[in-house]
Amino acid sequence: MAGPDERWAVAIDPAVCIGSGICAATADRYFHLVGGYGEVRESPVAADPLVIDAAESCPVEAILVRHADSGEIVAPTP
Amino acid sequence: MTIVLGALMTVHAYPFRADRLDLDPKYAELRAGEPLSRVQLPFGEEAWLATRYQDVRLVLGDPRFSRAASVGRDEPRHMPQSRVSGMLSMDPPEHTRLRRLIAKAFTARRVEALRPFTLGLADSYVDAMIAKGAPGDLVQDFAEPLPAAVICELLGVPFEDRDRFQVWSEAIISTTSLPPETIVEYYQNLFGYIATLVAKRRAEPEVDDLIGALMRVRDDDDGRLSEQEMVQMIGGLLAAGQETTTSQLPNFFYTLMTFREEWERLVADPALIPGAVEELMRFIPLGVGAAIPRYALEDVAFGDVVVRAGEPVLVSLASANRDPDVFEEPDALNIQRRSNPHIGFGHGAHHCVGAQLARMELQVALTVLTQRLPRLAPAVPPQELTWKSGRLVRALSALPVTW
């Protein structure tokens, strides 16, 4: 599990997003809808399982979460 | 500014008329003049009804509106019995815990992997129709088996059992088509069947379907999923995975027959099919009326109307999808519509989990029907078609066709 100082880079692919609104409803702190489509409020962020919840709940897997340092993918899992 | 409270407003009897696939003009009137109106469903307490696109999206996406708060309330509803509790009666983060577990099986990527299987099935049903000869019934010969077989494959439910679970599945969309005690009985049968199936599957937990995936989560025993939750989720997905697409597919064809030139364009250019599916989802009011109210957790203003904390709000997806502020010529079917942010699959935390699956199935169905049966046409005049009644979603009882 993520350490206390771990930072994650969070991005939404606008070409993939369908604007379902699930990310904003799941993790309002990190995501909001702009013009009907999902956007991250800020990145990188301190590691928080809620960000993974949003990424894993996205129906088109438009949200990519990586370790800010290593670039290693945190979510979505294959 | 004048503040309008619900108690002072005229209450409209709801649902409005839902003949065939027509959208009652009342929605357009309210959208223009009374976008948050008061309605009374046949059962439960009075509610607000939102009819504008922006308001509907706000209610569905804003955490100030809750499904969990409906528990214990006399929810506005179309049927005497209360809804079976489950994911639809939860809010994030509780809802997220369960949603995440199933969302993975329904992502665009996973669904895409089922496309060849779905294409093969659709082809085989058309083969059977051709072998039997016209007229066929698009409902019984095609729209019923296709979604059932696909959801069975995804979940890991034996399709051979279809004659049993397809009957019970009616319980999830029935309002008055079944007596209340039969709905209870069908739910029990459905969940009992799934519980038995899960028990049998314990011997082979490694199989890569949703039942297998949920069993692995369950057996990790980290408190993420109870046995009852698992059974209810699988039963709910099995039923919802059939009833909706099975209803919508003939609705699609019926609508394309009304706008026959659009059908001809799909025959000539299959690349138009994905856009056509989106447009048909926007255009067709699948539900007979708004259902599943959200409860305000605090006072929320919509213009000069204030929804008070604790009041339920219904949202009309069909009305939102015809909002002229968002869609050009909203009452026209235009399969090449450029901007189409419809909310036919809902919005927010409860956005249809099967949306990508339904899209794929509907795309495959239109592809196979337009390519293999380009002259497909109803075998009877439209006024002779019969529509099911006493259900939450609109559907044809049968759709006799020739080709």
Structural domains for chain B? 6-402 (1.10.630.10)
Domains in chain A: how many in total?
1
Q: Do B341 and A36 touch (CB under 8 A)?
A: yes
Q: What is the per-residue pLDDT across A43-67, written as a single tens digit (0 to 9) for each?
A: 999 999 999 999 999 999 999 999 9
Sign for the pseudo-dihedral over CA of B383, B388, B393, B395: negative
Q: Do A59 and B96 touch (CB under 8 A)?
A: no
B61 → chain A, closest CA residue: A25
For residue A36, list chain B residues with Cβ-Cβ distance below 8 A: 57, 341
Distances (CA, A) of B376 to B43, B254, B255, B264: 41, 11, 13, 10
Question: Does some domain include residue A60?
Answer: yes
Cβ of residue B99 closer than 8 Å to a chain A Cβ? yes
Question: Does some domain include residue A1?
Answer: no
Question: Does some domain include residue A35?
Answer: yes
**Cα of B61 to nearest chain A Cα, Å:** 6
pLDDT band at residue A2 using 50, 70 and 90 as cut-offs: low
For residue A21, list chain B residues with Cβ-Cβ distance below 8 A: 57, 60-61, 347-349, 351
Cβ of residue B61 closer than 8 Å to a chain A Cβ? yes
Quote helix, strand, coil % in chain B, to nearest 5: 50, 10, 35
**Cα of B287 to nearest chain A Cα, Å:** 19
Low-confidence ranges of chain B (pLDDT < 70): 1-3, 205, 221-222
Question: Does some domain include residue A2?
Answer: no
At A46, which CATH number? 3.30.70.20
Give the DSSP H/E element, type plus range, for residue A22.
helix A22-26
Give the DSSP letter string of B238-278. HHHHHHHHHHHHHHHHHHHHHTHHHHHHHHH-GGGHHHHHH
- Domain extent, residue A48, equals 7-75
Cβ of residue B77 closer than 8 Å to a chain A Cβ? no
ipTM for this prediction: 0.94
Cβ of residue B106 closer than 8 Å to a chain A Cβ? yes
B356 → chain A, closest CA residue: A59
For residue B104, list chain A residues with Cβ-Cβ distance below 8 A: 56, 76
B95 → chain A, closest CA residue: A26
For residue A33, list chain B residues with Cβ-Cβ distance below 8 A: 61
The reported pLDDT for the residue numbered B217 is 83
Sign for the pseudo-dihedral over CA of B151, B99, B302, A41: negative
Query: Which two three-digit tokens encode residue A15?
Result: 């070409």
Sign for the pseudo-dihedral over CA of B296, B307, B24, B325: negative
The reported pLDDT for the residue numbered B207 is 82
Sign for the pseudo-dihedral over CA of B20, B26, B31, B35: negative
Give the DSSP H/E element, type plus range, for residue B37.
strand B36-40
Pairing, β B47-50 against β B312-315? parallel
> What is this structure's pTM?
0.96
Q: What is the per-residue pLDDT across B295-351, written as a single tens digit (0 to 9) for each?
A: 999 999 999 899 999 999 999 999 999 999 999 999 999 999 999 999 999 999 999
Question: Does some domain include residue A54?
Answer: yes
Q: Do B104 and A56 touch (CB under 8 A)?
A: yes
| Residue B76 contacts residue B293 (beta carbons within 8 Å) | yes
